[in-house]
Amino acid sequence: MHTFLFRLNALATFAISTLAALCAVAAFTDVFHASNPVVNVSLARVERLHPVPSSGNDEAFLAFKISADLSSLFSWNTKQLFVWLDASYETPRNVENHVSLWDRIITSREEAVLSLPYVRNKYKLVDQGNYLRNRALNLTMHWNVMPSTGALWHGSKTFSGFRLPKRYTNDRN
């Protein structure tokens, strides 16, 4: 006859093994989930481009138009999406610059349809130097799909052809 602790150990081992197997099967089913997110991002306006006197760096305040349907990224195993917009550009000082401008956490399929006609950058766009004037700019929308169980996966879409003004602007509207 087995003791109570022996039986409790056997039950706990069985429960943990079963739970681990179910998690592995759940994570595997996401491999077959087909998603087709529709994303469109454009630069609505350069609100302000100015030098920061204390540091000598350039700073830009931008506004974007974001239209996205990310609902296809949700499956039964999706906990949330982390979505962010970044700007990339080249300068003589740094070959590749990436700056996060905006982000959002999306927790449901209903919240995953974004129609934002005028969004200001949430985080500052500051260049290390005074190289932002007349600079070509690419905007990239990234998303991380965070499942309840399984591996995190990432996707993105880049929009190019944007350019910052040739001169400093002080428009504060």
pTM as predicted: 0.84
Q: What is the mean pLDDT of residues 115-129?
A: 94
- Give the torsion through C-alpha atoms of 133, 39, 74, 142, to 10 deg: -20
Residues 101, 62: contact at Cβ < 8 Å? yes
> Does the pLDDT value for residue 56 go beyond 80?
yes
The one-letter amino acid at 81: L
- Domain 35-163 fold: Immunoglobulin-like (2.60.40)
- State the pLDDT at residue 102: 98
Instruction: Report phi then psi at 156, rounded to 5.
Output: -160, 160
CB atoms under 10 Å from CB of 116, counted, come to 14
Q: What is the mean pLDDT of residues 117-121?
A: 96
Q: What are the b/e assignments for 20-32, b being 16+ CB within 10 Å?
A: eeeeeeeeeebee
Split at pLDDT 50, 70, 90, the class of 79 is very high
What share of the chain has pLDDT > 70, as a percent?
98
Q: Which residues contact 82 (CB under 8 A, 6 or more apart)?
A: 103, 104, 105, 106, 143, 144, 146
Residues 27, 149: contact at Cβ < 8 Å? yes
